[in-house]
Structure 1
Amino acid sequence: MQMTTLSFENFHTHGPLFSNMLKARHRTFIEEMGWEIPSEGNMEFDQYDTAQSRWVCVHDGGRVLAGVRLTPTTASCGIYSYMVRDAQRGLLDAIPANLLDDDAPIAPHIWDANRLFVAEGVETEIRREVQMSLMGHMVRSARELGATTLLGLLPIGIPRLGRRLGIDMEPGGPVMKIGGVAHRCYFVTMASKMH
């Protein structure tokens, strides 16, 4: 099992890993969860998959096991910034605008974490290891990018995984159903004890 952080600068060194990750997102969010979001060629993508983002991917050879996208809260592409803020601004129909208790932050040390998934078909005996690897590598990658805090609209079960790694996650808004799954905004403080 490998962990890789992809960017527009290193795609070329990882063969089809990026497109395989977008295909895994398509299977997860469109085929399995039934979300109505953009896709082409069995790849799921949206307006936040830009050169400003990074993609943390857990994989075994060419098989993508899990992933998450990191976007700086300072991002800007046309009218869009980052997913949580744009939802709050009413730009995303599928996500309620009241997802945060306070105004969405814009700061170089805060990054948005979204599109977190573990691929369907990941075997039960390695699923926990895959989840833990994804969370740990997400935090390490975010730290390397200069982040001290992540903000994510995440499934409500994620904080249990975070606690096992020493990651503090504080609720930032109400629980809401998105695509039939209970989600909540969390602020993830990347404690120095996490390794």
Structure 2
Amino acid sequence: MLATTLSFENLHVHGELLVKLLKARRQCFIVQNKWNLPEAEGMEYDQYDTPASRWIAVHDGGDVLAGIRLTPTTARCGMYSYMIRDAQKGMLDAIPTDLLDFEAPVDVNIWESSRVFISNKVPASSRTRVQAELMNQLIATSRELGATKVLGLVPAVWSRWIGRLGLVAEPAGPVMEMDGARVQVALMDLSKTKH
């Protein structure tokens, strides 16, 4: 099992890994969760998949087991910035505006994690290992990018597994029901994380 961070600068080194990641996202979010999201050629994508973002893929052989997208909170692409901030500004119909307990930050030291998933192909006996690999790569990549905090809209069960992975985070908004899933914004402090 490997964890790879992809960017527009290194895509050529990793072959079809980004394509496989976007196909795995489609399987998770569109097929399984039945979310109404953009798709093309079997891949899920949105306006935040830009050269400013990074994508983390946990993969084994040819299969993507898990993934995350990282976007700087300073990102700008036309009228869009990053998903949590744009939702708070009322720009995204599918996400409530009251998802955060404070004004969405615009800070070079804070990155957003979004599109977090673990494939349903991962057996229960391997999920913790895959989660740990995903989070370790998230922390390493975030630190390399200069982040001290990561803000993410994640499944509301995050508090159950984050401690056992040695991570420190706090709720940053209310638990919400979105498209049949319970989600919450969490803020991870990388300075307090033991990794």
TM range (shorter): over 0.9
- 1:107 to 2:116 alignment: no
SS at match of 1:116: strand
**Distance in structure 2 (CA, Å) of the matches to 1:47 and 1:11:** 19
Offset, 1:193: 4.8
Count of residues in Structure 1 that have an aligned counterpart in Structure 2: 195
2:3 — aligned with what? 3
1:184 — aligned with what? 184
2:162 — aligned with what? 162
CA shift digits 1:82-107 (9 cap, x unpaired): 00000000110000000011100000
Which structure 2 residue ranges, 5 or more long, are not aligned?
A: none
Identity level (%): 51
CA shift digits 1:39-96 (9 cap, x unpaired): 0011000000000000011000220000000000000000000000000001100000
Q: What code does the residue aligned with 1:81 have?
A: S
Kept in 2: contact 1:135–1:162 (CA 8 A)? no
**Distance in structure 1 (CA, Å) of the matches to 2:160 and 2:133:** 14
Offset, 1:27: 0.2
**Distance in structure 2 (CA, Å) of the matches to 1:164 and 1:137:** 16
Which structure 1 residue ranges, 5 or more long, are not aligned?
A: none
Kept in 2: contact 1:28–1:120 (CA 8 A)? yes
Q: What code does the residue aligned with 1:29 have?
A: F
1:151 — aligned with what? 151
SS at match of 2:191: coil
Offset, 1:127: 1.4
**Distance in structure 1 (CA, Å) of the matches to 2:75 and 2:10:** 19
Kept in 1: contact 2:168–2:192 (CA 8 A)? no
Kept in 1: contact 2:55–2:68 (CA 8 A)? yes
Please tell me the root mean square deviation across aligned C-alpha atoms, in Å. Answer: 1.0
**Distance in structure 1 (CA, Å) of the matches to 2:159 and 2:151:** 13
Structure 1 stretches of 4+ with a deviation exceeding 3 A read none
